[in-house]
C-alpha cells in the first residue's frame, strides 16, 4: 500500500495532450465579455445552455486549453469502442446511445460556434470558443482573467469549469524515457485514437487501476478485440480484491470480477507494481504477487486530481481533503465567479461537503451555475446520479453515497424462472424479493456464502447504502429508469424497518 505516491505529471509522454497545431493568437480574442467560461467540457457547455435559455442574446466566450469544441467524455471508455468494432470512427466521433439514438461526442457541430474575433459585434450573441488557450489567473475583485501568455480579458460573470487531470504513478513518471513512452493516461479523443492504434496492431495492454475508468475500459477493449481474429491481451491489474470494490459490496464486486473475466479480460487482483523494465519492444511489469506481465502499453487509471492551478495567485480556496475550489451553495467561489463540474467542491446539505467526478453532476451543476450567472440566485439542491457499463451485460446507476465501506443491504432478483424452481425456495422467498442480505466489509463469511450458493443471482437488483441506519446511497444494478424514485427515497433521509419493502418499489422483476 505504501509503494506508490500520487503525482500529477504533465510531461508529454505520459499524459493526455492535444495534437500540435499552430499556437492561436490571443490578440484575436475580445478584451471584454459579459460571460466568460473557463474550460471546454460538459459543465462549461451546460452553463452556456442555461445562460442562453435565460438571456437569448448573451455573448459567451469559452476558453479551453484543448484543441476541441466542447465534448463529453463517457463514450470514450464505452460506446466508441463498439462503434469502432463495427467500422470507421467518424471525425465527429459518432456513437449509439443507450436509447438507441445516434449522436456525436461533440455537443454541437462546428457551425454552431462563432469566431472569437466576431463575438463582440454579434447582434444576436452566441458562443465563441477560444481553443488552445490556458487561463493562468483570475482576479475576482477587478473581474479580469489572465491567459498564460499574459493577455487579459475582463468579464461580468465568470465560470471556472476546469475539470480534472489523470494522476500517474511515480514508478512510471520517474522511469527512463523508454518506459515512459509506453505509458499513457486516458481522458481525451487523442488518447482513444492512440490506444485504438495499439489494439489494431495486436498489442497487449495492461490497465492499472480498478475504478470506473480501469474497469469500463478493460471490458470495452476486451470486447473490441473479440471482433478480431488475432489480438493482444487485455490485463487489468489492481491492488483491491475484485472489480469496483470501492463502491460495490464485496460479494457483488467478486461476482462482477467473474463477469469481467468472462468477457476476456485477464484480471489480476491483489497486485501492486514492484518494478517496470523495458525489454526491446515490451514492458516487463513485475508484480508484488511474484508474477511478471509483459505488455506493449500501460494505461494508468488511478484517479484524477481537480485542476486548481488557477487558485494560486487568484486568492481562491482549495479544499484540503477533497481538492477542488471551495464554493457556497450557489456555487460561487467569489461574487460573480462560479465553479461547476469535477473542479468544484460544494456543500450538500444532506450528505456534507463533496466533490463529484461524474457526467450528470457536471451537467446539473453547470446548468445551475449558468442560471446564477444570469442572476437567479438558486442553491444547488439537486442530488446528481452516475451510471457505468461493464461491457454489454452490466449497467448500473447510482445516487448519493455509493461507498462500499458503508453497511449495505442488497436485494436481488433470481436470474431466470428455471433457477427459481431448481433453487427450491421457501414460500416467502418466492415473492418479489427473493434474497436480501446485509453486509459490511469485515463480514467475510457472508461473502463466501454468496459465492458458493448464489453465484448466479446478482443479475438485477438494488443495493442500499446506510449511514446511521438511514439510506444515504442507492445503487440500481441492471435496473433502469428508476433513478427518480431513488432520489426521492434519499431525500426523505429516514430509517426503514424493512428494506425489502423499499426494494419492492423498484419493481426488480419487471
Ligand atoms: P472536463 O470534462 O474535464 O472539462 C474541463 C476542461 O477544461 C478540459 O477541456 C480542460 O482541458 C480544460 N481546462 C482545464 N484547465 C484549464 C485552464 N486553466 N484553461 C483553459 N482550459 C482549461 N461520468 C459518468 O457519470 N458516467 C460515465 O459513464 C463517465 N464516463 C467517463 C469516461 C471517461 C473516459 C472519462 C475520462 C470520464 C468519464 N466520466 C463519466 C466522468 C465525466 O466525464 C466527468 O465528470 C466530466 O467530464 C466532468 O466535466 P467537467 O466539465 O467538470 O470537466
Ligand atoms: P445531453 O448532454 O445532451 O443533455 C444534457 C441536458 O441538457 C439534458 O437535460 C437535455 O435535455 C438538455 N439539453 C440538451 N440539448 C439542449 C439544448 N440545445 N439547449 C438546452 N438544453 C439542452 O445529454 P445527457 O442527458 O447529459 O446524456 C449524455 C450521454 O450520456 C448520452 O449519450 C446518454 O445516452 C448518456 N447517459 C447514459 C445513461 C445510462 O446509461 N444509464 C444515463 C444518462 C445519460
Ligand atoms: P477512480 O477514482 O474511479 O478510481 C481510482 C482507482 O485507482 C481506484 O479504484 C484504485 O483501484 C486505483 N488506485 C488508487 N490509488 C492507487 C495506487 N496508488 N496504485 C495503484 N492503483 C491505485 O478514477 P478512474 O477510474 O481513474 O477514472 C478517472 C476519472 O474518470 C474519475 O473522475 C472517474 O470518476 C471518471 N470516470 C467516470 C466514469 C463513470 O462515472 N462511469 C467512467 C470513467 C471515468
210 CB near ligand 3 (under 6 Å): yes
Distance 415 CA to ligand 2 centre (A): 31
72 CB near ligand 2 (under 6 Å): yes
Mean pLDDT in residue range 103-109:
97
Closest Cα to atom 39, ligand 2: which residue?
387
What would the grid cell of residue 106 be?
A: 461533440
Q: What is the DSSP letter of 3?
A: T
Atom of ligand 2 nearest to the CA of 45: 2
162 CB near ligand 1 (under 6 Å): yes
pTM: 0.89
- In the predicted structure, residue 402 carries a pLDDT above the cut 80: yes
363 CB near ligand 2 (under 6 Å): yes
Whole-number pLDDT of residue 457 = 78
Q: Is residue 383 a contact partner of residue 350, using CB atoms and an 8 Å limit?
A: yes
Q: How does 448-473 read in b/e, with b if 16+ C-beta sit within 10 Å? A: eebeeebeebbbbbbbbbbeeeebbb
pLDDT grade for 441, boundaries at 50, 70 and 90: very low
Whole-number pLDDT of residue 509 = 78
List the beta strands (DSSP E) in 209-265.
234-237
What would the grid cell of residue 274 be?
A: 514492484
Give ipTM to 2 decimals. Answer: 0.89
Mean pLDDT in residue range 431-435:
35
Ligand closest in space to the Cα of 402: 3
- Secondary structure of residue 127 in the 3-state scheme: strand
Pocket test for ligand 1, best of 48, 66, 73, 480 (most atoms within 8 A of CB): 73
Q: What is the DSSP letter of 338?
A: E
Whole-number pLDDT of residue 440 = 36
Give the Cα separation of 251 and 242 in Å (integer).
9
387 CB near ligand 2 (under 6 Å): yes
pLDDT grade for 432, boundaries at 50, 70 and 90: very low
Pocket test for ligand 3, best of 209, 235, 269 (most atoms within 8 A of CB): 209
pLDDT grade for 97, boundaries at 50, 70 and 90: confident
Name the nearest CA neighbour of 344 among 360, 359, 374, 322.
Answer: 322
Pocket test for ligand 3, best of 76, 167, 213, 220 (most atoms within 8 A of CB): 213
Whole-number pLDDT of residue 4 = 32
What would the grid cell of residue 402 be?
A: 455509493
130 strand-pairing partners: 63
Q: What is the pLDDT of residues 72-91, one digit of tens each?
A: 999 999 999 999 998 889 99
Contacts of 454 (CB under 8 A, 6+ apart): 251, 412, 435
Whole-number pLDDT of residue 421 = 27
Mean pLDDT in residue range 283-297:
96
Q: Which of 2-11, 29-38, 59-68, 352-361 shows the lowest mean pLDDT across its residues?
A: 2-11
pLDDT grade for 423, boundaries at 50, 70 and 90: very low
Whole-number pLDDT of residue 281 = 83
Higher pLDDT, 114 or 229: 114
> DSSP for 407-470?
-EEEEEE-S-HHHHHHTT--TGGGSS--EEEEE-TT-HHHHHHHHHH-TT--SEEEEEEEETTE
Whole-number pLDDT of residue 87 = 85
Atom of ligand 2 nearest to the CA of 103: 32
**How far does Cα 189 stand from its chain's mean position?**
15
Give the Cα separation of 159 and 340 in Å (integer).
7
- In the predicted structure, residue 384 carries a pLDDT above the cut 70: yes
- In the predicted structure, residue 263 carries a pLDDT above the cut 90: yes
- In the predicted structure, residue 485 carries a pLDDT above the cut 50: yes
pLDDT grade for 71, boundaries at 50, 70 and 90: very high
Q: Which of 110-114, 163-167, 270-274, 411-415 shows the lowest mean pLDDT across its residues?
A: 411-415
Mean pLDDT in residue range 226-252:
96
Q: What is the pLDDT of residues 162-221, one digit of tens each?
A: 999 999 999 999 999 999 999 999 999 999 999 999 999 999 999 999 999 999 999 999
- In the predicted structure, residue 7 carries a pLDDT above the cut 50: no
Ligand closest in space to the Cα of 324: 1
Whole-number pLDDT of residue 19 = 53
Mean pLDDT in residue range 275-285:
93
Whole-number pLDDT of residue 98 = 81
Closest Cα to atom 28, ligand 3: which residue?
303
Distance 120 CA to ligand 2 centre (A): 30
Q: What is the DSSP letter of 500?
A: H
Closest Cα to atom 23, ligand 3: which residue?
303
pLDDT grade for 415, boundaries at 50, 70 and 90: low
Closest Cα to atom 8, ligand 3: which residue?
211
Mean pLDDT in residue range 468-485:
96
Closest Cα to atom 33, ligand 2: which residue?
97
Q: What is the pLDDT of residues 291-328, one digit of tens each?
A: 999 999 999 999 999 999 999 999 999 999 999 999 99
Angle at 434 between CA 431 and CA 439, to 5 degrees: 145
Cα dihedral sign for 69, 359, 8, 216?
A: negative
Give the Cα separation of 292 and 282 in Å (integer).
12
pLDDT grade for 9, boundaries at 50, 70 and 90: very low
Whole-number pLDDT of residue 153 = 98
List the beta strands (DSSP E) in 88-191.
94-96, 102-104, 126-131, 135-139, 144-147, 152-160, 164-166, 183-184
> DSSP for 403-419?
-TTS-EEEEEE-S-HHH
Whole-number pLDDT of residue 24 = 76
Whole-number pLDDT of residue 22 = 62
83 CB near ligand 3 (under 6 Å): no
Closest Cα to atom 25, ligand 2: which residue?
360
- In the predicted structure, residue 437 carries a pLDDT above the cut 90: no
Distance 359 CA to ligand 1 centre (A): 8
Computed over every residue of the chain, the mean pLDDT equals 88
Contacts of 321 (CB under 8 A, 6+ apart): none
Q: Is residue 457 a contact partner of residue 257, using CB atoms and an 8 Å limit?
A: no
| Greatest mean pLDDT range, 22-26, 137-141, 434-438 | 137-141
167 CB near ligand 1 (under 6 Å): no
Give the Cα separation of 406 and 408 in Å (integer).
6
Ligand closest in space to the Cα of 386: 1
Ligand closest in space to the Cα of 169: 3
Name the nearest CA neighbour of 120 among 95, 166, 154, 84.
Answer: 154
Whole-number pLDDT of residue 456 = 61
421 CB near ligand 2 (under 6 Å): no
Name the nearest CA neighbour of 489 among 498, 502, 508.
Answer: 502
Atom of ligand 3 nearest to the CA of 164: 32
Amino acid at each position: 500500500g505504501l509503494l506508490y505516491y500520487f503525482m500529477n505529471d504533465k510531461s508529454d509522454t505520459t499524459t493526455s495532450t492535444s495534437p500540435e497545431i499552430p499556437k492561436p493568437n490571443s490578440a484575436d480574442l475580445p478584451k471584454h465579455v459579459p460571460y466568460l467560461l473557463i474550460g471546454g467540457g460538459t459543465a462549461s457547455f451546460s452553463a452556456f445552455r442555461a445562460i442562453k435559455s435565460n438571456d437569448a442574446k448573451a455573448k459567451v466566450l469559452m476558453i479551453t486549453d484543448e484543441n476541441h469544441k466542447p465534448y463529453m467524455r463517457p463514450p470514450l471508455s464505452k460506446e466508441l469502442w463498439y462503434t469502432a468494432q463495427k467500422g470507421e470512427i467518424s471525425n465527429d466521433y459518432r456513437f449509439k446511445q443507450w436509447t438507441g439514438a445516434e449522436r456525436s461526442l461533440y455537443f454541437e457541430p462546428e457551425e454552431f460556434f462563432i469566431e472569437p474575433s466576431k463575438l463582440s459585434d454579434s447582434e444576436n450573441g452566441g458562443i465563441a470558443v477560444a481553443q488552445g488557450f490556458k487561463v493562468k489567473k483570475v482576479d475576482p475583485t477587478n473581474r479580469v482573467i489572465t491567459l498564460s501568455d499574459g493577455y487579459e480579458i475582463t468579464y461580468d460573470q465568470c465560470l471556472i469549469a476546469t475539470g480534472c487531470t489523470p494522476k500517474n504513478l511515480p514508478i512510471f513518471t520517474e522511469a527512463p524515457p523508454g518506459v515512459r513512452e509506453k505509458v499513457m493516461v486516458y481522458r481525451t479523443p487523442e488518447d482513444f485514437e492512440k490506444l485504438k492504434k495499439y489494439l489494431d496492431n495486436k498489442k497487449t495492454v495492461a490497465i492499472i487501476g480498478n475504478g470506473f475508468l480501469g474497469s469500463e475500459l478493460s471490458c470495452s477493449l476486451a470486447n473490441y478485440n473479440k471482433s478480431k481474429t488475432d489480438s493482444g491481451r487485455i490485463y487489468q491489474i489492481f491492488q483491491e480484491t475484485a472489480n469496483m470494490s470501492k463502491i460495490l459490496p464485496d460479494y457483488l464486486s467478486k461476482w462482477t470480477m467473474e463477469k469481467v473475466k468472462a468477457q476476456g479480460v485477464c484480471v489480476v487482483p491483489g497486485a501492486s507494481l514492484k518494478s517496470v523494465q523495458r525489454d526491446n519492444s515490451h514492458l516487463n511489469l513485475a508484480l508484488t504477487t511474484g508474477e511478471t506481465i509483459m505488455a506493449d502499453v500501460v494505461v494508468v487509471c488511478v484517479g484524477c486530481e481537480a485542476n486548481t492551478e488557477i487558485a494560486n495567485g487568484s486568492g481562491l480556496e482549495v479544499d484540503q481533503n477533497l481538492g477542488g475550489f471551495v464554493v457556497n451553495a450557489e456555487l460561487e467561489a467569489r461574487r460573480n465567479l462560479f465553479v461547476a463540474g469535477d473542479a468544484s467542491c460544494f456543500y450538500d446539505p444532506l450528505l456534507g461537503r463533496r466533490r463529484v467526478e461524474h457526467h450528470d453532476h457536471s451537467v446539473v451543476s453547470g446548468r445551475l451555475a449558468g442560471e446564477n450567472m444570469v442572476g437567479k440566485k438558486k442553491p444547488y439542491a439537486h442530488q446528481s446520479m452516475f451510471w457505468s457499463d461493464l461491457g454489454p451485460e452490466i449497467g448500473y446507476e447510482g445516487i448519493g453515497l455509493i461507498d462500499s465501506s458503508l453497511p449495505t443491504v442488497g436485494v436481488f432478483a433470481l436470474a431466470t424462472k428455471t433457477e427459481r424452481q431448481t433453487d427450491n425456495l421457501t414460500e416467502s422467498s418466492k415473492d418479489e424479493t427473493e434474497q436480501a442480505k446485509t453486509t459490511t466489509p469485515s463480514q467475510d463469511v457472508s461473502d463466501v456464502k454468496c459465492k458458493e450458493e448464489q453465484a448466479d443471482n446478482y443479475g438485477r437488483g438494488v443495493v442500499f447504502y446506510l449511514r446511521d441506519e438511514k439510506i444515504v446511497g442507492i445503487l440500481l444494478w441492471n435496473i433502469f429508469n428508476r433513478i427518480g424514485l431513488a432520489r426521492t427515497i434519499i431525500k426523505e433521509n429516514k430509517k426503514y424497518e424493512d428494506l425489502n419493502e423499499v426494494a419492492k418499489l423498484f419493481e426488480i422483476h419487471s
